[in-house]
Amino acid sequence: MTGGAGFIGSNFVHYLVDNTDDVVTVLDKFTYAGNEASLAGLPEDRVTVVRGDICDAEVVDRLIADTDVVVHYAAESHNDNSLHDPRPFLDTNIVGTYTLLEAVRRHGKRYHHISTDEVYGDLELDDPERFTERTPYNPSSPYSSTKAGSDLLVRAWVRSFGVQATISNCSNNYGPRQHVEKFIPRQITNILVGDRPKLYGEGLNVRDWIHADDHSSAVLRIVEAGRIGETYLIGADGEKNNKEVLELILTTMGQPADAYDHVVDRPGHDLRYAIDSAKLRDELGWLPAFQDFERGLAATVDWYRENEAWWQPQKAATEAKYREQGQ
């Protein structure tokens, strides 16, 4: 698999070690978002970590020759970064995916592509519709457009070359080991270091939250039983606006619910994401285990409280970058 030292990828590795007998090789470049500590302590006979770039065709070819199934998580993943420096998003998300597809094509290997609900653009707050597998692509940011491009490459490689691939598009994940640049960890760690949380604009934007472990169980199910060439949307009916989530973080951490700052909004900020995961549930019998967001969030807060050594080295530089952007 790729990107196993990042947030969702590392949760997937832990999930596989805990719930299967699979042996995993992680290919990760260890960008600013990759963290060795996220894979520390895992059994050496089950998990091998290779430091390398998914754009490096030689490394990719060598590893894929020895692999049964490739699950591709690696990406440049943060919208705000893509607005300031899009180039790495094109390299990793587009050229990286192309490099992997060519290798799985050469070696005839099964491939699963991890993608995002952001490829569908955004919805109005009062729209009764949610995203489905039939929603037209309409990405807004450099990040989401490169993810959309990578999905389309996968579809083309399936149709043109018969690559044995599936795609999943998931909503916003939360849980342990998420980089402090992202919304929920940024606010939790701001409170832990004595800074005020930062809300973009009025905070009415809606995200559809799912626990990272539920994302992992869905991906495993698709790898085991998904139909080749198909796309599956992954979501857990977790729609909440940012203000609600922030107030919940504050009260969970014993702070007044209004102890935060409004900061400049993200340019082109998508208003609402919402996933209809009926296909995954009906066809593959998948169900999320984390039904209670408040409990999942409280456990996430506890994780950041107990793992300061994991996030503290990234915190100052991340906040310095946000300060430059007025955020």
For ligand DAU, the binding residues in 227-246 under the rule CB under 6 A are 242
70, β-bridge pairs: 111
Using CB under 6 A as the binding rule, whether residue 172 contacts ligand NAD is answered as yes
- Closer to ligand DAU by CB, 26 or 274: give it: 274
Q: How many CA atoms lie within 13 A of 325 on its CB side?
A: 21
For ligand DAU, the binding residue among 112, 207, 211, 315 (CB under 6 A) is 207
Question: Closest Cα partner for 23 from 7, 38, 1?
Answer: 1
- Closer to ligand NAD by CB, 105 or 179: give it: 179
Per-position x/- string for 250-279, each x denoting binding to ligand DAU as judged by CB under 6 A, each - no binding: ----------------x------x------
- Closer to ligand DAU by CB, 84 or 159: give it: 84
Catalytic residues: 117-118, 143
Using CB under 6 A as the binding rule, whether residue 180 contacts ligand NAD is answered as no
At 71, which helix (H) or strand (E)? strand 69-72
d(CA 49, CA 2): 10
Question: Closest Cα partner for 118 from 54, 75, 70, 177?
Answer: 75
Using CB under 6 A as the binding rule, whether residue 29 contacts ligand NAD is answered as yes
- Closer to ligand NAD by CB, 51 or 262: give it: 51
Using an 8 Å Cβ cutoff, are 172 and 256 in contact? no
Using CB under 6 A as the binding rule, whether residue 49 contacts ligand DAU is answered as no
Q: How many CA atoms lie within 13 A of 77 on its CB side?
A: 27
Phi, psi (5° rounding) for residue 41?
85, 0
Footprint on this chain of ligand DAU (rule: CB under 6 A): 77-79, 116-118, 171-172, 182-183, 186, 198-200, 203, 205, 207, 242, 266, 273
